[in-house]
Structures are given as C-alpha cells and as structure tokens.
Structure 1
Amino acid sequence: MQRLVDQTVRAHDAALPDYISRSWRRCETYGLPIHTDAYVDRLGSHELKHRIEQHEVLYRLCRPELETLRRVASGGDGIAIVADPSGLVLDSVGAEEFARRAFEVELSPGWSWNERLRGTNGIGAVLMELKSLVVRGNEHYIETNRFLDCAAAPILTPTGSVAGVLNVSVPSSMASAYALGLVEVAVDQIEHRQFADTFTRHTIIRVHSERELLGTPKEGVLVFDGSKLVAANRHGLAILKLNWTALGQHDFGDLFDVGALDDPQGHIGEALRSANGLLLHSVKPDMRRISRSVPNALPRLESATLTMPIYDAAMRADVERTLRILDCGIPVILSGETGCGKEVLARHLHALSSRATRPFVAVNCAGLPESLIEAELFGYLDGAFTGARKGGSKGSVREADGGVLLLDEIGDMPLSAQARLLRVLQEREVVPLGGSKPVPVDFLLICASNLNLEDMVAAKQFRQDLYYRISQFRMHLKPLREHPDLPDLILALWRQTTSGDDRYSLSPETVNALAQHDWPGNYRQLVGVLRTLFALAEPMVPIAPHALQYGTAGAISSPDAANAAHLDTKTRAILQNALDQHQGNVSRAAKSLGISRGTLYRRLSQFGDK
C-alpha cells in the first residue's frame, strides 16, 4: 500500500501541494481503500434534524451565503455545502444534475466527509489543515471521488475554534481556483456576521489600515472584556501579527501605543497605532437600540470560553491541568454534585483540546434502559436483536472516533456494559452487537459522576478494574454554595441570561437573597431561576426580592423542616424495604422501584447508608 501511495502521488504531480501529500499518507495509515468506497453510515432524518439543531447558529449564519452560492452554482455546474466541525454535511444547494451525481458518492446531507472515512477531500482536508484549500480531481484519495474539484475553507468562531466548513464542489474540468475565491469571500461574510448580535457587554474595536475597508468583512474586529483581548476575527489578528493563542493573554495597552491602563472604550473611533507601528483607522459603532431576546438558551460556549465567568482562578488552573492530561490521551473523571456543570466543562475541554474539530459525543448512562445501553454504546448490526433498526447502528463509541466521548453518570452503567467498555479501552477497538469483526476506534475519554465511585467499587456496584482504568486523573467541581464570590457570579450569569442588556437588572437586595440560598441544584437551578426572573422583568425596573415568589419560591425558600424530615423518613423506609425484599441486591431493588441503580445508591448515600 505504501508503494502504491508513493507511486500515485509521484505520477500525478511532481509539484503536489504539501497538504495533499500529508493527507494521502494519513489515509494510508487509516487503511482506506483507494479503488473502492469505504462504508459510511448515513444519519436518519430525525438524527440529521437533531444535528442541525445542535449547530443552529452555524446553520443560520450560513444560509445567506448558501443562497448566494446556490445562484452561482446552479448557473454553472456545482454544489455548495456546509458541514459541521466533525465533517458531517448539514446542507447542500446547487445544480440538480450535479447534485444527483454527488449523491451517488454520498456527498449530500446526513453523510460524513471526515478524512478518516472518505480519504482526501475538501471538507476532510480543511478539518486537518485548518486553512482554505482546493482538492482537485486526481488529488482525491478514493478513485470514485475524482470527478470532483472541491474548494473549501474553515468557518472559525470569534475564539478560534472551528464552527464548520464551507465547501463548493464542481466538475474537475472547471476552474476550482475561482470557486475557492467565492468560498473565502463567503466565509469572511459569515465570520463577520458572528459579531453582530454577540459580545453586547464587551468593547468591540473595528480597525484597518485602509479606511475604505472599515465596515466590510475585511476589517479587523477585536473584542475586549475590560482591557483583556478575548475574541477577534482572523483579519484583526493578522493586522496585529498575532495568532489565536493571543486571546486571553494581551491587554489593550500591550497591543496599541496607548497608556498601559487605558480603557479600550475610550478609544473607539480614534486612529490607533499598533505596537508594531502600523497606523490603524477605527470606526464608531452603530448605536442601534439593543432589542430584547427571549432567554431560551444561554450564550454558546464559544462566546464565554476565555472569560469563563462560572470559574474562579483556582478552577481555571484546574481546567488547564485537566486539558493537558486529556490531550495526552489519559482518561479524566469529572466529579461533583448534580447541576455543577460537568457536561458544560466537558464540552469546554473538547473545544480547547487537540480534538476540537472532531466529534463530541455525550452519553447519559442514567438515561438509557439497561437492556439498550450496550446497543447504544457499542452499536449493532442489522438484525442483531428484535426491534433493531434496519441497517444497524454505529453506536456512540464509533460516533466519537477521532474526537471526545463523554460518559455522563457512569456510575449508573450496568456491570455487563462496564466489562465491554473495559475491553474497548484496553484494545482500542469495538465489536458491535451481532458482529464478530472488531472496528478500531480512537477517542479521548471523559467520565462524569455525582456518585462516589470508590464507595461503589467497595460495594461491588462498579468494576474495580474499570475504575482503575478511568480514574487516572480526577477534577472535582465545587458546588455553587462554595463559590468564593457568589454575588459576583450571580451577576455574571445574569449578564449572560440577558445578553448584556443593561435595561434589565437585579436589585442589590435580590442579588443578596439569591446569594443566601444554598442551591442544591447548583448552576442548573440558579440559571433556571434567572431565566424566570428575566421573563418577568420590565425595562428600567430593577427586579425586587418579591419577584422571587413568582414561580421561583420553591427554589429560594426552604420547605418546612418537620415535613421534610417526615418525608425523608418515609422515603428511607421504602428504599430499605425494597432492599430487604431482594436480599440487599441493589440492582433488583432499583428495578422493583422503577428507578436506576445509581439513583437508588445516591439516595441511600444521602441517608448515610452504604
């Protein structure tokens, strides 16, 4: 195979781009066939819809450019495609005849074009190289794809992570360099549009050495939190001769010839000289009235990745250590009470890791029936069991190949599934249910639990060998009540909830009342209360403490202690009775109660029973 790769590369073009040569050699290590298509599962319509919803911001930002490219592609003979950070095609538009031909090689929504699955191609190469590029006909690794010329570019978030890929594919006889120019212009527009409705509580400086380019997608956009540079577009970083690692590291005074403690807000619209001596023009923002939005979701992680308002300084240091451990391929356990933000942290670690452009797959082990968890995790072949989906399923472990797998509430995983997981971690391969051929997998593993896994090992509720395999590094998330500055945290979360709209505020008395609560549901509970308060808020009227009684009283006031104690006594008696009936077998007792084994164990722990 190595000789065939070398001969094909040399025969095609002595001046082959370096990124194509690198890609072909990676494909050889993947063991991909050159002469036949690799088998790739297609997402069903429901799964595709869910994936589009996950990337709703990307999808919405790309729609205007896709419509423009639709007209260009339809007028010629090609298609425009938007893919998510894993390489999954979310949407495609263009010439119908060419689209049909592209469908024959599965270049259409629902199919992945990750390099590990499809060999050298525009989308896959961009995710590996993180730059705009062209893959011409014979540069495709798999022969059946060589009728394509693909021009593609990454779409980057304001913090430098990959939001997706924009790709234009045309017949290999057409001018793909022209297509790449169209793609790059479209990506500039998409990335520029990201700053329109975000960072409303930050200072945004827009600069360029040519005044005429201010207000265009070519302008440099720099976002400051206080005086700290926390986000930018690629043009802004290029103007200052910086890269993405500069975010979070430089103050305004480090970047421009101003006073060391100068506030960037005071320099909006002024001419600035960069630290490298370049004279830059800037523009005053359009002072449009900020419209209120319904707080149906917190801002996306990318918009708060660097400031991390929910973490104190000690936690930021813990995050950095955990990231280094994870990137070395060492499993990580995130522990903490319910609602502490374990999945949010896991997604954050993925976004900052070396696998940021690869899939992030989260599995809630407590949310899967015991009879189905192995099928969901490890996949199955067609007909493996009654009710199996036609065509089978890859399973979450294979979905996470190349990326990060989060096993949330791993303490609720049945012992049988624990044994299979241990084999996957040891052998780095998975055998789907109903199959016999192992499939190689490569992923970083994060486990999360609000249970004490050591106690579960002692109680023989969790496999000791699996525990030692996954517990090489642990990061504990403190409960909300232990945060060193809870009022400041509440205000930071309030700014996120309101998208920084200063017309809506909490009175000092309300902040104090919220800070006095012990928040057993932690961040999840607090965020729910803040969203409710925002829905009730009126412009320019600070929210008073009496508003806490509307739909939030249960979260702020404690129940009657006597009633609570009585309820606890009855609950404990019911749990103990179930255990007695099943001779202390927790799994059977939990099943008889209609709850998961982990839930039963957790409730027993709350009462001091082990």
Structure 2
Amino acid sequence: MTSLQSRHIDNVYSITTGAALADPAASLVHKSWARCVRDHGLDPSRPSPARILPAQEVRAHQQQLEHFLRAARSGMEDIYRRVADLGYMVLLTDAEGITVDYIGNPAWDDQLRKAGLYLGADWNEAHAGTCGVGTCLIERQPMTCHQTEHFDATHIALTCTTAPLFDHSGKLTAILDVSALRSPEARESQHLVRHLVAIYARMIEDADFLRSFRGHWILRLGSAFGLVDVAGEVMLAFDEGGTVVGANGGARQAFAGRALGGAISEWLHMPMDAIWRIGNGGASAMPFAHTVLLPGGGEYHASLLAPRVRRPSVATPAAPAARPNDRLPPLERIAGDDPQMQKLLAQARRLVDRGIHVLVEGETGSGKEVLARALHGASGRAAMPFVAVNCAAIPDSLIESELFGYTPGSFTGGRAKGMKGLIAQADRGTLFLDEIGDMPMALQTRLLRVLSEGEVLPLGAESPQRVDIAVVAATHRHLPGLVASGRFREDLYYRLCGAVLKLPPLRERGDMRYLIEGMFNEEAAAMSSPVRLSEEAMQKLLAHDWPGNLRELRNVLRLALALCSDGRVGVEDIQLQLPARSGHVTPANVARVAASSADDPDGIAATELVELLRRHRWHVARAADELGLSRATVYRHMKRHGIAPPRSRPLADD
C-alpha cells in the first residue's frame, strides 16, 4: 500500500467518524462515504480489486437494455471521438451499476480491466464504494468523482464523470461515464468533461425518445430559432387524437412532472388547429416561425414531426380521401354508436396503462386481436412491439421454444445463434395470447411464472431475464369450464382475467353500417381503388347474419372490390358464401361442451363429436365453429378418439 493510499484511508476515517456529516450542507462525496461505512458495511482499510461479472451474467444485463443500447452506443462513439486523445474512455452501466458497454484504447485493455473500466465491472456503491457510477445512481444528477474522492483506495488514481440516463417514462435506465486512468490533480480540470457528459446524456435520452415514439406525432420546442428542428429541448409525443403519450426529460421538467394523458391542446393552452398548423409550416419560407408559450413561462420556437410510418411510394389521384375516423384515437376507431361496444370501450379506456392483464372473450372473427391492438395503440407502450401469438396454431413440439426462446446448442436443429422467444420480443410492449384456452398444460405453468415474476427463462439458459410486458389474452372458449374439467390452470386463469372484455358477435351489433363503411374504405384504399358502395349492396350486407363475423365481412368486401366495375360495388358483387345459420357459439353450446369435457377428461365425448361431424358433412371448420374450438383442437380430439371420416369422402377442412 502506498503512502498516498494510507493518507486517503486516514482521511476517510476522520470524515466518517466526525460530526461534520450531521451538517446538511455536507458534500455529496462525504455523504456517500458515510453511507459506505454505515449502510454498506465497507471498510476503507480493506481496499478491494474491481469486481468483474462472468460473461453470461453480463449478457443477461445487456438483454434488458437491448433497445436502449442502440441509441446509447451511437452517443458513446461520438463522445469517445472527442475525448480519446485526452486519455479518456467511455462506459455505460445499467441501473444496477453493471457495465454493459464500453469503449477504450485497446492498448490499455489490461490496465482498464484491472481498474474496473471494463465490460462487466460492478460499480454499484454497495460494492465499489463512492464512485462516479454508484453515487450517481443514488443522487441521480451529473457529478464528478475525482481521484481521492473515491472511497476505495484502489481507485484514487481515477477520475470519473457521470450523468444519469432516463427513459421516456422517467425511469432511471443507465449511467453514462467518461473516465481516465490518470489526470491533472486539480478537480477543475474536469469541468469541461462534465458539461460534455451532461450534453451527451440528454442527446442519448432524446434519441431513445424519438425512436420509442417514431409512430406518433412529436412536438419539439426549443429556445434556439434555427435549431429546434434538430435539437428540441422540450418534446411531447401525441397520438392522432391529440392525447399526450410521451414526454422527454425537458418536457417533464417544463411541465413539473405532469402525468401523461390528456389533450396536448390542454397542456399548451392552445387550440388543436393551431398545433396542426405548426406541421404545415414546413413548406413555408420560415418553417419555424411558430412560437409556443408554456404555462410555466418561457417562449419556445416549435416544430412538428410527423409519424415515421411506411406509406405507399406512389399516391394515385383517385385514392379515397381520408376518413373522419382516421384521426380518432385507436380505441374509438373500432366501433360506432352501438351501446354494447361503447360500454366495452369505456371500460377499456379505464384499463389502459393500469398494469392490469386483460382477457378478451368473443366468437371467432369477432375482432379480439383488433381490440388488443387498439388497447396497445392507446397505451404508453404504443411505440414498442405488439407481439401476437396464436396458441392453437403453433405445434405442441415448437410452442415452448417459440414462446421462451433458446440459447445456442440447446437442441439439435436449433439455430446456431439461438433464438429470442416471442415473450422476450414483446419486452416493454404488449404480448397478445390468442386462443389461450388451447395452450398445453405444461406451458401454462411456465407462462404463470412469467406473469407472476416478470421474467422469462429461455431453453438452455441458466438465469432468467427480466421482461416488462402488458398481456392481453383472448379466447372463444369457456375458460371456467376448462378450469372445472382440469384442462386449464385455475391460478393462470385468475392471473389472466384481471379484467374481462366480452366482444359481441357482429349479428348483435347496432353499428354495422359504420363497420361496413370503415372496412370498405380501408380495403378500397389498400387496392388504390376509387370505388363507392351502392345502397342496395349495403342493404344486402346489413341483412346478412355474419356467422364468420369481421373476418367474413372483410373477405366479402375484398371479393366485391375485385369483382366490381365502373367504380361501383353493386348488389350483384356481394357474394355471400355461407347462408345464415344457427350454429353459433351460444351459452347452451358452451355448457354442453363443458359438461362433456367433465365426463371425458381428455376432451369431447367421441359419440358427440362423430354426431356433430356427420351433421356438418365432415366439414371440420364448421364443426369447430359450432363448438367454439379451433380447427387444430378438433383434429386433436379426432386423433385421440380414433375418429376417421368415411372413405368415400375426404376430410373437409375448409
């Protein structure tokens, strides 16, 4: 131990045992020293080497920041180019103080690793003592920990300047650190580096904000007239209906941490038309002539960034005009004035961003995924992935690896680099589990752990990874009946049905004209077809029973658009493939299936299934629809009971 280290240890002892720490004006460093002794149980006389985590643990920490790392890496590379010649390196840690990325001079690798300025280094204050990263995690503000301000004598040659990084929800996500193995003794030598780190921290946060809300309108406000279009200090993201869904760090500060939601016109105290005009200014000679006065004071220049969505490369002059409901919020678009749907949507709006899992019940084709996507689009997760999983369509042999993923070499035939599962792909977004009633029992147990613990364990992995997902499940089956027959876990059922939304079938809805017009316009726009729907054709559509619900309606409209001529869909173009029939999912059907399942733990009774198939002339899809089951499930029951169709007639599957 050097004499400098001995003097440093004596100094730490004198400060942490003195009365000076009772002074509220004590420095951040001295307060941290006290925490190290009092709360963390660290001993300054026992310096410890840098703690480096194994590669597998580091990967787990990196996976939790996968999306954020992309924006952060670009900022790290840019700041490193500016400070590398001065002997600095750059590292990024997660919210636990674990280094998940770093850039340094390869010639200094050994020295950097020994000093802990390396991938996998643990800079949490509880282990490393007072340091740039660990203390910044607690104080949550830019700071410099220079040389002998470190608690551990092992680190007193270092200088570390850090700034916290927050995601668009205001959650502390990472720490940006610029450090050097040696530097001038004067602390003032780090002032410029501190300003640089703070600037780049804000740039990384804003880059992540723009990426997260690239599908939304973004209002950028800046004090510099000519820079607001590229460097907005205050940014608000809002949807087509004008509801604020995101705020960057500058906006959270400017609006005093106001909760998300509400109309942007209310936030700014200006009419919505005036906000839309900001976007139109891009074609003028002075595109940033718009100014906004914030409620708390301060005048800002404004710029409006349109959603970055994929649009057709060529717009045809005859394309249908935008519909009035195009500007409605996601949940408002899916229904007209039908009382049942308006009651359901009112309930759905109250569930958005409340952390409650939702179970959607409804007949096949009634729009369960449409509702799930609308819930996602109305939430603060709208810019993140929406991952849909059809639990009945994935083969039993693949569903586990598809859902949970696997590591390299987990099994023969797997991808050489492993695979990220669908649950992990939905991290920070929404996971939609369609046909949840058809999920095998073994997988139900694993899914329950995901929902209860918030973590997923890929096949072959030794440690789980954290996931943050909103879950919407859907079924056209009677889950309580499956629970009663022991074919669906009761604890999983109650975990999924935090709230239950029951979609009415099309034949019970009173907004059919709204649905037909909206879907017809969508399909016409997709075909770039300037076509109108005749009133006679509309009346024929309104009179139909729609046993296939929205899915059948869309297919009929697509066919009509393909068949029509002279820019008009007439009654002769409406081809209804199936007549109205009574084989819908009804409470009586559900009760009958549940009762037969109770008598036969393996599924539907063989005699009942044969009778049903005969009645439908061995059309499996129609039999499945009446039972409220998927086609794949009916096939499984037929195989289990050894049921085969008559040889004179092939098994119908359409």
TM-score (normalised: structure 1) = 0.54
Match of 1:570 in 2: 618
Q: 1:263-294 CA deviation, whole Å, 9 max, x = no partner?
A: 3345765565636474625367899xx99666
Mapped partners of 1:325, 1:64: distance in 2: 34
Q: 1:360-383 CA deviation, whole Å, 9 max, x = no partner?
A: 998765466545666787899999
Match of 1:78 in 2: 89
Mapping of residues 188-207 of structure 1, within 5 Å: 188-189=202-203, 206-207=220-221
Match of 1:65 among 70, 75, 91: 75
1:340 and 2:390 equivalent? no
Match of 1:475 in 2: 501
Structure 2 CA distance for partners of 1:247 and 1:44, relative to 1, 3 Å: closer
Match of 1:450 among 448, 470, 475: 475
Match of 1:280 among 299, 302, 315: 299
Match of 1:251 in 2: 265
Q: 1:100-154 CA deviation, whole Å, 9 max, x = no partner?
A: 777897965xx8999899999989999x889664595999999999989473443
CA apart distance, 1:68? 1.7
1:170 and 2:185 equivalent? no
Mapped partners of 1:143, 1:360: distance in 2: 49
Structure 2 CA distance for partners of 1:96 and 1:341, relative to 1, 3 Å: farther
CA apart distance, 1:404? 8.6
Structure 2 CA distance for partners of 1:235 and 1:545, relative to 1, 3 Å: same
Contact kept in structure 2, 1:19 and 1:129, CA below 8 Å: no
CA apart distance, 1:305? 12
> What amino acid does structure 1 have at the position aligned with 2:620?
R
Mapped partners of 1:291, 1:403: distance in 2: 20
CA apart distance, 1:462? 1.9
1:326 and 2:336 equivalent? no
Mapped partners of 1:525, 1:122: distance in 2: 61
Mapped partners of 1:333, 1:214: distance in 2: 44
CA apart distance, 1:243? 3.3
Mapped partners of 2:564, 2:198: distance in 1: 50
Mapped partners of 1:94, 1:410: distance in 2: 49
CA apart distance, 1:78? 1.4
Q: 2:483 is paired with a residue of what secondary structure? A: helix
Q: 1:154 is paired with a residue of what secondary structure? A: strand
User: Is there any run of 5+ residues in structure 1 with no aligned partner, and where?
Assistant: 1-6, 296-303, 499-503, 533-543, 580-584, 594-602
Q: 1:190-225 CA deviation, whole Å, 9 max, x = no partner?
A: 5666769988995x7654456466445154445676
Structure 2 CA distance for partners of 1:422 and 1:521, relative to 1, 3 Å: same
Mapped partners of 2:117, 2:387: distance in 1: 23
Q: 1:407-445 CA deviation, whole Å, 9 max, x = no partner?
A: 65432332234356668878999999999x999999777
Larger radius of gyration: 2
CA apart distance, 1:449? 2.8
Q: 1:245 is paired with a residue of what secondary structure? A: coil
Contact kept in structure 2, 1:70 and 1:80, CA below 8 Å: no
Match of 2:532 among 509, 512, 529: 509
Contact kept in structure 2, 1:135 and 1:151, CA below 8 Å: yes
Contact kept in structure 2, 1:155 and 1:190, CA below 8 Å: no
1:95 and 2:105 equivalent? yes
1:230 and 2:244 equivalent? yes
Mapped partners of 2:34, 2:482: distance in 1: 47
> What amino acid does structure 1 have at the position aligned with 2:78?
T
CA apart distance, 1:508? 6.5
Mapped partners of 2:408, 2:160: distance in 1: 35
Mapped partners of 1:524, 1:240: distance in 2: 50
Mapped partners of 1:69, 1:130: distance in 2: 23
1:264 and 2:275 equivalent? yes
Match of 1:41 among 56, 67, 78: 56
Contact kept in structure 1, 2:387 and 2:430, CA below 8 Å: yes
Mapping of residues 514-525 of structure 1, within 5 Å: none
Contact kept in structure 1, 2:238 and 2:245, CA below 8 Å: yes
Structure 2 CA distance for partners of 1:199 and 1:466, relative to 1, 3 Å: closer
Match of 2:438 in 1: 412
Mapped partners of 1:143, 1:451: distance in 2: 65
Aligned pair count? Answer: 523
> What amino acid does structure 2 have at the position aligned with 1:264?
I
Match of 2:489 in 1: 463
Q: 2:488 is paired with a residue of what secondary structure? A: coil
Contact kept in structure 2, 1:89 and 1:107, CA below 8 Å: yes
> What amino acid does structure 1 have at the position aligned with 2:440?
P
Mapped partners of 2:460, 2:216: distance in 1: 54
Structure 2 CA distance for partners of 1:361 and 1:492, relative to 1, 3 Å: same
Q: 1:457 is paired with a residue of what secondary structure? A: helix
Mapped partners of 2:31, 2:360: distance in 1: 37
Q: 1:243 is paired with a residue of what secondary structure? A: coil
